[in-house]
RNA sequence: GCGCCGGUGGUCUAGUGGUAGGACCUGAGCCUUCCAAGCUCAUGGCCCGGGUUCAAAUCCCGGCCGGCGCACCA
């Protein structure tokens, strides 16, 4: 992934990705996908959509990348994404100031404190640099927010942020999305889109960037009722790296099935297990090497505070394990947050099997009395009576026996209401169900990292007659183009015939490239480098002018990985290539 | 953000205080009946700004970008 890496060199040279705005010196952490990369990325997204949206019966949305500030107040990103950095005056190292405080004092949750307060604490406790031990008192703490900030409309009265994850765009629309799902759990909502994080130090090519594409599924479930179809993935095998192995001296990967890890309690939640199985199949299908892939459980310290359990999909790239995806059980954290901060309900009405009858204390205050008596506070008094009835119905019974008045407190002031003006009753009501806040299961994937991993894992170098042959062994389904069409030579009508074939194949919906420049071998090599799985060559036999007249109307189809060739009739060529691309047949079936 | 190292055509690189050469790639032509063959020609470059100097791509300073290490990665 670093400079001098042959995969990065190839990616730049052949148009997979390049650093953006190079004409202006470049900008760190932003990449442009070139023609090959954009096609590859689109194909990867299409297969994800097929697997996680269509096959799962979920619905896809497309939310804005800019959201107003309250959304991120509710989600916790406004505070949680704010880092406090303090720089050591001696050694120059920067550290998280809140971590320094929490690690060296009894103070907890320094993260949520004001900057000034943390500065005071650092001075009070005479805290020192974790690296060199120099005193940090008096050092200014710098605020660094990972979110890109902007303004919505003129002026700065309406701040907005570029979303740091796509998920919030789904959560905030939950009330309407539940309606679209006819208020039936479970339902899943997917989104593929850009997210933005103003990283301090982007590194390692496409693996750590400031703008990236996420593919996320938010599955809303009833935690008491809904279960995944685990049977459909129980035989999927994958390497698992649970906490116990990570903490062991000689911990190792456990190669086993999804069914087993769930049975053994290694993966606690059935939904997480289910999506690990789905995701493993998908990563394999797009060309991630399963010998360099694993599912790693989050260590206790890594877990977000609301997450019961979390697993990452990881791939080995250049000797490092990088995170490709996270699978988290988020509980009702997200929906509860938005319910608390917004004016909407983020619940689903869940019907009981049988309606139940309950006794419920109610009040129906006489507003024609309360109004004149309490003026502007009348409504608040009525509310207070209402909640008192729910909380402590005995207060009303006592009032009847006692002095005949009910006492409530509104903003510190006591009000007394005659019991006969309260309208207190114990009602028998029939309830057919209750409002529940669904729990969220979230598989969240990084598309750019998947793309980079696929490039890295599919790259191969062969020696052929002393020459290096570079090949991207991309699965046909995701390759930027499915087929290259060449005339054996650019004369004698071969090129014209080849162009006719290009048109036919494109009409059939295939991604085709045409090339008649230079020797045929060079053209094969060009396609090898960008991962085109098949090449079609028009030769003299095609025209009926070769040694074997029976081959008229046929072309050679060459397979990238073996460089073997088979003759195929032009009449069935588009069907054959489509079947090869979709995996309906293999090259050996020809 | 800190430290060290670096930045020459699309890619990989040589090089000097007097404005640059190669290889590959790419394009045109010739040749060529299946895996980067050959010949001819052509396109294309010293990261940006400032300083020193008669003269800077070269030396110095700053910036930008990259690699590595540290920190960060909710």
The Cα A138–Cα A119 span in angstroms is: 7
**Nucleotide B28: closest residue by CA–C1':** A517
pLDDT band at A2 (very low <50, low <70, confident <90, very high): very low
pLDDT in tens, A43-86: 999 999 999 999 999 999 999 999 999 999 999 888 777 667 77
Going from the C-alpha of A574 to that of each of A481, A509, A534, A570, A571, the distances in angstroms are 14, 9, 12, 8, 8
The predicted structure's pLDDT at residue A371: 79
Cα-to-chain-centroid distance, residue A8 = 25
Q: Which nucleotide is nearest to A537 (CA to C1')?
A: B34
Query: Which residues are paired to A18 by β-bridges?
Result: A32
Contact A9, A205 (CB under 8 A): no
**Distance between the two ends of chain A, CA-based, in angstroms?**
38
The Cα A385–Cα A362 span in angstroms is: 9
- For the CA of A471 and the C1' of B43, the distance in angstroms is 28
How large is the C-alpha radius of gyration of chain A? 32
Rounded to an integer, the average pLDDT of A145-160 is: 86
- For the CA of A221 and the C1' of B41, the distance in angstroms is 70
**Among A16, A54, A50, CA closest to A36:** A16
A131, pLDDT greater than 70? no
Q: What is the mean pLDDT of chain A?
A: 89
Lowest mean pLDDT: which of A39-43, A130-134, A374-378, A496-500? A130-134
The Cα A577–Cα A513 span in angstroms is: 14
Going from the C-alpha of A402 to that of each of A364, A407, A424, the distances in angstroms are 20, 12, 15
Please check whether strand B approaches the CB of A19 to within 7 Å.
yes
Going from the C-alpha of A445 to that of each of A158, A382, A451, A528, the distances in angstroms are 31, 50, 11, 28
pLDDT band at A256 (very low <50, low <70, confident <90, very high): very high
The predicted structure's pLDDT at residue A200: 81
Q: For residue A144, give every residue at least 6 positions away whose Cβ sits within 8 Å of its Cβ, in sequence order, or none.
A: A82, A83, A84, A85, A200
A413, pLDDT greater than 90? no
The predicted structure's pLDDT at residue A94: 65
A146, pLDDT greater than 90? no
The predicted structure's pLDDT at residue A574: 97
The Cα A530–Cα A468 span in angstroms is: 15
Rounded to an integer, the average pLDDT of A486-514 is: 95
Phi, psi of A71 (to 5 degrees): -60, -40
pLDDT band at A104 (very low <50, low <70, confident <90, very high): confident
Of residues A482 and A140, the one with the higher pLDDT is: A482
Rounded to an integer, the average pLDDT of A476-500 is: 95
User: Token pair of A274, please?
Assistant: 């289910």
Please check whether strand B approaches the CB of A304 to within 7 Å.
yes
- For the CA of A91 and the C1' of B2, the distance in angstroms is 8
The predicted structure's pLDDT at residue A39: 97
C-beta within 7 A of nucleic chain B, residues 512-571 of A: 517-522, 524-526, 528-529, 537, 539-540, 545-546, 555-556, 558, 563-565
- For the CA of A24 and the C1' of B14, the distance in angstroms is 27
Tell me the residue length of chain A: 590
* High-pLDDT (> 90) share of chain A, %: 61
The predicted structure's pLDDT at residue A105: 75
- For the CA of A26 and the C1' of B14, the distance in angstroms is 26
- For the CA of A23 and the C1' of B20, the distance in angstroms is 22
Contact A94, A136 (CB under 8 A): no
A354, pLDDT greater than 90? no
- The Cβ of residue A525 has, within 10 Å, a number of other Cβ atoms equal to 17
Q: For residue A424, give every residue at least 6 positions away whose Cβ sits within 8 Å of its Cβ, in sequence order, or none.
A: A361, A362, A363, A389, A393, A396, A406
The Cα A246–Cα A475 span in angstroms is: 32
Please check whether strand B approaches the CB of A197 to within 7 Å.
yes
Which positions on strand B lie below 7 Å from a protein C-beta? 1-3, 7, 10-13, 25-28, 31-37, 47-48, 63-74
pLDDT band at A1 (very low <50, low <70, confident <90, very high): very low
Q: Which nucleotide is nearest to A165 (CA to C1')?
A: B74
A182, pLDDT greater than 50? yes
Please check whether strand B approaches the CB of A131 to within 7 Å.
yes
**ipTM summary value:** 0.92
Going from the C-alpha of A127 to that of each of A96, A107, A113, A115, A515, the distances in angstroms are 13, 13, 17, 15, 67
Q: Report helix, strand or coil for A181.
A: coil
Please check whether strand B approaches the CB of A200 to within 7 Å.
yes
Of residues A162 and A144, the one with the higher pLDDT is: A162
Rounded to an integer, the average pLDDT of A378-390 is: 80
Q: Which residue has the tokens 């008596």?
A: A373
Phi, psi of A138 (to 5 degrees): 90, -10
Predicted model pTM = 0.87
Q: For residue A455, give every residue at least 6 positions away whose Cβ sits within 8 Å of its Cβ, in sequence order, or none.
A: A7, A11, A16, A40, A472
The predicted structure's pLDDT at residue A128: 76
């Amino acid at each position: 992934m670093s400079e001098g890496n042959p995969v990065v060199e190839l990616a730049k040279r052949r148009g997979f990705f390049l650093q953006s705005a190079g004409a202006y010196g470049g900008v760190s952490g932003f990449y442009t996908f070139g023609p090959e990369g954009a096609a590859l990325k689109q194909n990867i997204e299409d297969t994800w959509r097929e697997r996680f949206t269509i096959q799962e019966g979920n619905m896809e949305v497309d939310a804005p990348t800019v959201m107003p500030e309250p959304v991120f107040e509710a989600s916790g990103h406004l505070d949680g994404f704010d880092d406090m950095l303090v720089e050591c005056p001696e050694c120059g190292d920067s550290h998280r100031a809140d971590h320094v405080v929490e690690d060296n004092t009894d103070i907890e949750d320094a993260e949520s404190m004001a900057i000034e307060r943390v500065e005071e604490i650092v001075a009070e406790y005479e805290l020192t640099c974790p690296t060199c031990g120099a005193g940090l008192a008096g050092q200014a703490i710098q605020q660094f927010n990972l979110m890109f900030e902007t303004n919505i409309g003129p002026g700065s009265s309406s701040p907005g942020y570029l979303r740091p994850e796509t998920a919030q765009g789904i959560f905030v629309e939950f009330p309407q999305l539940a309606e679209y799902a006819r208020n039936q759990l479970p339902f899943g909502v997917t989104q593929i889109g850009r997210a933005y994080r103003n990283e301090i130090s982007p590194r390692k090519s496409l693996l750590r960037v400031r703008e990236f594409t996420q593919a996320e599924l938010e599955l809303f479930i009833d935690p008491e009722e809904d279960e995944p179809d685990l049977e459909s993935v129980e035989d999927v095998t994958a390497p698992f790296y649970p906490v116990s192995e990570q903490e062991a001296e000689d911990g190792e990967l456990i190669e086993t099935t999804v069914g087993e890890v769930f049975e053994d309690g290694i993966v606690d939640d059935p939904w997480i297990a289910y999506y690990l199985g789905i995701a493993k199949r998908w990563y394999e299908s797009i060309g991630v090497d399963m010998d360099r892939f694993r599912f790693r459980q989050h260590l206790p310290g890594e877990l977000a505070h609301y997450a019961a359990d979390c697993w990452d999909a990881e791939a080995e790239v250049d000797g490092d394990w990088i995170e490709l995806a996270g699978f988290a059980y988020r509980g009702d954290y997200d929906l509860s947050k938005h319910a608390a901060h917004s004016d909407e309900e983020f619940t689903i009405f869940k019907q009981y099997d049988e309606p139940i009858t309950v006794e419920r204390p109610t009040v129906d205050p006489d507003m024609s009395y309360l109004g004149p008596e309490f003026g502007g506070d009348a409504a608040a008094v009525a509310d207070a009576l209402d909640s008192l009835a729910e909380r402590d119905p005995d207060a009303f019974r006592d009032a009847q026996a006692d002095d005949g008045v009910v006492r409530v407190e509104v903003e510190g002031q006591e009000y007394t209401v005659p019991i006969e003006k309260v309208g207190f009753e114990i009602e028998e009501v029939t309830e057919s169900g209750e409002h529940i806040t669904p729990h969220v299961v979230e598989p969240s994937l990084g598309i750019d990292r998947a793309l980079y991993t696929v490039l890295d894992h599919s790259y191969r170098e062969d020696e052929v007659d002393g020459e290096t042959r570079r090949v991207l062994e991309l699965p046909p389904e995701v390759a930027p183009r499915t087929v290259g069409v060449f005339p054996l030579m650019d004369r004698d009508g071969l090129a014209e015939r080849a162009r006719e074939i290009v048109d036919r194949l494109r009409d059939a919906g295939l991604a085709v490239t045409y090339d008649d420049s230079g020797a045929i071998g060079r053209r094969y090599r060009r396609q090898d480098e960008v991962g085109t799985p098949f090449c079609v060559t028009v030769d003299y036999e095609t025209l009926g002018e070769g040694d074997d007249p029976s081959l008229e109307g046929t072309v050679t189809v060459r397979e990238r990985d073996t460089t073997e060739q088979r003759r195929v009739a032009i009449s069935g060529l588009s069907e054959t290539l489509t079947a090869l691309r979709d995996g309906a047949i293999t090259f050996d079936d020809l």
